[in-house]
Amino acid sequence: MTHSLPNLPYSLSALEPHISENTLSFHHGKHHQTYVTNLNNLLQNSPLQDLSLEDVILASADKSDLVGIFNNAAQVWNHTFFWNSMKPQGGGKPTSKVGELINSTFGSYENFASEFKQIALSQFGSGWTWLVLDGEALKIIKTANADLPMVKGMKALLTCDVWEHAYYLDYQNRRADYVDIFLNHLVNWDFAEANLQA
């Protein structure tokens, strides 16, 4: 199976002024593409070469001899999930089941947003901030580098990429501003709701 770079679910300029076309063209067209290219090269003649992306991730997780495959496969998946976690005119308070769960778990959307931001800012170096279902419990977690919820038995609902390349061209070292923008203007709550219901 050859893995390919998925198209963005919107145009390169659709998230402006919050995320620039310049950032998306580098992040999607260069960074994401590099993970896809590396993964395909690493899978040549591998016993994992005919597996789906998710199965490659699960089969290579926590295996020291497959760390290159895991890192690139997970980053292909993480980035695809991240693109879908955003939409033009997104953000703000969610409604439907996700909104109800956020209110019952965190007490209010404002409490959720504050905790999400704090966890995003506390990730040292590169990584991801996730809203997940852990069994029946809604949680906010962070993962380093390519790590992701599926290898922990959790269901991802949405993610924010906090690797510097996700925001540096637009926000330089201001990760806090970027996370605020993500929550207030970009989050795709419809995608989170679909993941919750799946």
Contact yes or no for 145/126 (Cβ under 8 A) = yes
pLDDT at 112: 98
pLDDT of 75 over the 80 cut? yes
The confidence score (pLDDT) of residue 76 equals 98
Question: For the range 34-43, what are the long-range contacts, defined as Cβ-Cβ under 8 Å and sequence gap of 24 or more?
Answer: 35/72, 35/75, 35/76, 35/79, 36/3, 36/4, 36/5, 36/72, 36/76, 38/68, 38/72, 39/3, 39/69, 39/72, 39/73, 39/76, 40/2, 40/3, 42/68, 42/69, 42/72, 43/1, 43/3, 43/69
Of 140-144, 156-160, 163-167, 189-193, give the lowest mean pLDDT range. 163-167
Average pLDDT over residues 166-181: 95
Instruction: Tell me the pTM.
Output: 0.96
Determine the average pLDDT of the residues in 5-34: 97
* pLDDT at residue 1, rounded to an integer: 77
Contact 113, 94 (CB under 8 A): no
pLDDT of residue 95: 87
pLDDT at 138: 97
Ranges assigned E (strand) in 63-117? none
In the beta sheet, which residues pair with residue 127?
A: 144
Average pLDDT taken over every residue of the chain: 97
For residue range 39-51, list pLDDT tens digits in order.
999 999 999 999 9
195: its two tokens: 């993941």
**pLDDT at site 51:** 97
Tokens in use for 184? 């207030």
How many residues does the structure list for the chain?
A: 198
pLDDT for res 18:
97
Residues 140 and 119: their CA atoms lie apart, in Å, by 8
pLDDT of residue 171: 95
How much of the chain exceeds pLDDT 90, in percent?
Answer: 99
Q: Give 94-148 pLDDT, tens digit per residue.
A: 989 999 999 999 999 999 999 999 999 999 999 999 999 999 999 999 999 999 9
Cross-sheet strand order for the sheet of 137-144? 137-144, 127-134, 155-161
